[in-house]
Chains A and B, each alone.
Chain A
Amino acid sequence: MFAVVMLAGIYGLVCASFFVAMDAVDVAFTEASIGAGISTLLMLTTVAMTGRTDHEATHKPLMAFVAVIVTGGLLIYGTFDMPYFGSADAPVHQHVGPHYIYDSIQEIGVPNMVTSVLASYRGFDTFGEVTVIFTAGIGVLALLSVARRPEDDAVMEAINDSMHEKHLILRIVIKTMIPFIVLYAFYVQFHGDYGPGGGFQAGVIFAAGIILYAMLFGLGAARRVITQPVVQMLSALGVLVYGSVGLVSMLNGGSFLDYNVLAADPIAGQHLGILLIELGVGLTVASVMIIIFYSFVGRSQFQKANKGELL
């Protein structure tokens, strides 16, 4: 099982390199942080919760393999109907693509086209995505959150102390790294207009910083730094910020999420709108990631505590 998860992590890395090769920087960025980093970790925690060895397979692996081959073959056959890669008369290049590419600088005033498409032209879709993430956070909370007892915390404290002593090198290196990781998250957040980056990636990097801290100093310590109620509130706040930007633009006489009316000058309005909604996205993503991590790890520690085999 472990090996499978590791290979999935490698797959994430390969994917991201592939996106880089295809010039899709922002996608690669997201894949790098989410696909290769966080999801590997979460899968591992899941494996830790459910047990490392799988049960005896009850179905025939050969059948599954054949099914996969057939489906894959059909899908590849399906691609024959698609226009050739990079062909100029593909439907993608006929529809709104040229408009986004050629006019976004004048209309939005943001050098990074992906950001303007994501946050402005497709603002509604992104709002939906943020809500999905928020819902996922709520779902995880509903399924996995456990009532914490104070004595558990005390036991965990003891373990974490031993972690410190055992990992002197890691402790010092990580202590030095954490401020830079967190600041880098903010940097990615606010430079989404100019280069690859934006709320999604920033949120994940921020969460990665916190997760790093939690892994070394223990979940209890991380929960004291950023408490559960605060994260829950922040995740809701993110969606709220996003939504309110839309509402304010409606109040100012535009349609929902039409940033042109946010300021006197349409470009400035777009700029402000994108900044704000990216902030909302970042808040939600970061806090939901942290919530998921807290719940997963808290749950597995809870299970272990119940079995009396805490490390």
Chain B
Amino acid sequence: MDTVLTLLSSFCLLFGSFLCLSGGVGILRFPDFYTRMHAVGVTDTLAAAMILIGLMLQNPDLLVIIKLMMILLMTLFISPAASHALGQAAVLNKLQPLINMNINPLEEDTSAGDKSSKS
């Protein structure tokens, strides 16, 4: 039983780390703000869940498991609201999304880049 748990938890942690790293690469690699939001979404949902579940499986203490679960629930509850608020603010301030760049290459020049909100 113990070995199964350890294996499971290792798997969860490693998978979570991989997802996290991918999200990190995504936030650097994707071309504009809106696409980067998706990369952050990855690290906020499944990566966090995997790492926290991996930790839950490591610890037999009920209180700790409950706390980890609360953190997980809270992350899942908060992160979409925060992303939505961020995306909405960007839209309201007319940050143009990059659209269909691979389908119609001609559009790329006109819609590329972040036009507004230099900080």
List the interface of chain A (C-beta within 8 A of B): 2-3, 166-167, 169-170, 173-174, 176-177
Contact = CB atoms under 8 A, between A and B. Distances in A.
B85 A170 contact: yes
Contacts of A166: 88
A176 B80 CA distance: 14
A169 B119 contact: no
Contacts of A169: 80-81, 84-85
A166 B85 CA distance: 10
B78 interface: yes
Given A173-B77, A173-B78, A3 B119 contact: yes
B81 A173 contact: yes
Nearest to A4: B119
Interface string B74-114: 00011011001100100000000000000000000000000
Contacts of A173: 77-78, 81
B119 A167 contact: no
19 contacts: A2-B119, A3-B119, A166-B88, A167-B85, A167-B88, A169-B80, A169-B81, A169-B84, A169-B85, A170-B81, A170-B84, A170-B85, A173-B77, A173-B78, A173-B81, A174-B81, A176-B77, A177-B77, A177-B78
Interface in B27-86: 77-78, 80-81, 84-85
A8 to B, nearest CB: 14
Contacts of B77: 173, 176-177
B110 to A, nearest CB: 27
B91 to A, nearest CB: 11
A3 B119 CA distance: 7
A174 B84 CA distance: 13
A177 B77 CA distance: 9
A166 B89 CA distance: 10
A170 B85 CA distance: 7
The winner among A2, A166, A173 for most chain B CB atoms within 10 A is: A173
Contacts of B78: 173, 177
A177 B80 CA distance: 14
B84 to A, nearest CB: 5
A268 B20 CA distance: 48
A23 to B, nearest CB: 18
